[in-house]
């Protein structure tokens, strides 16, 4: 059976932390679907097409990594794509507590396993919200994101 993992998030934008988690998970799974969740109530800095393009460009040389978008529950998307794993990155203890509750709920509702990877020490402080704040204030956001992410 093919080991398919879904790495869900808004990726507004993808950061070096996300990039690191995906790269390190490539040997663990046969296929990784980076799944951009769409939330109509959320205001994004980057359009869905821009976020998708950033990720596709980052992993254009990795055929086992694909990008998709979805609405609704992550577990429903996982069922649709036949994924048995949800991939999540943990930066700190607060992330763990939050993600643990979601993982338990997902497991109860669907039997999907959540696999946690710790972020690398050199990227553990980076979050998309910090990157957006740096961009809004004219800072050197390029130090926090893959080369594919560039503001026009």
Kind and range of the H or E run holding 150: none
Pairing of strands 85-90, 4-9: parallel
Which residues carry out catalysis?
A: 18, 42, 91, 128
pLDDT for position 42: 86
pLDDT at 143 over 90: yes
Question: In whole numbers, what is the pLDDT of the chain averaged over residues?
Answer: 95
Could you give the CA distance from residue 56 to residue 19 in angstroms, rounded to a whole number?
11
User: What string of H, E and C letters represents the secondary structure of 23-84?
Assistant: HHHHHHCCEEEEEEECCCCCCCCCCHHHHHHHHHHHCCCCCCEEEEEECCCHHHHHHHCCCC
Average pLDDT over residues 26-54: 95
**Contact in structure between 25 and 3 (CB atoms under 8 Å):** no
Would you place residue 131 in the very low, low, confident or very high pLDDT band (cuts 50, 70, 90)? very high
């Amino acid at each position: 059976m093919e080991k398919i993992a879904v790495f869900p998030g808004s990726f507004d934008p993808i950061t070096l932390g996300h990039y690191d988690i995906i790269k390190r998970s490539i040997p663990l799974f046969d296929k990784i679907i980076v799944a951009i969740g769409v939330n109509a109530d959320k205001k994004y800095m980057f359009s869905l097409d821009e976020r998708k393009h950033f990720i596709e460009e980052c992993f254009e040389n990795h055929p086992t990594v694909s990008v998709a978008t979805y609405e609704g529950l992550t577990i429903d998307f996982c069922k649709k794509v036949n994924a048995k794993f949800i991939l999540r990155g943990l930066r700190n203890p607060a992330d763990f507590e939050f993600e643990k509750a979601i993982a338990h709920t997902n497991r109860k509702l669907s039997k999907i396993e959540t696999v946690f990877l710790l972020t690398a020490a050199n990227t553990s402080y980076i979050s998309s919200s910090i990157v957006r704040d740096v961009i809004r204030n004219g800072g050197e956001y390029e130090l926090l994101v893959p080369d594919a992410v560039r503001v026009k």
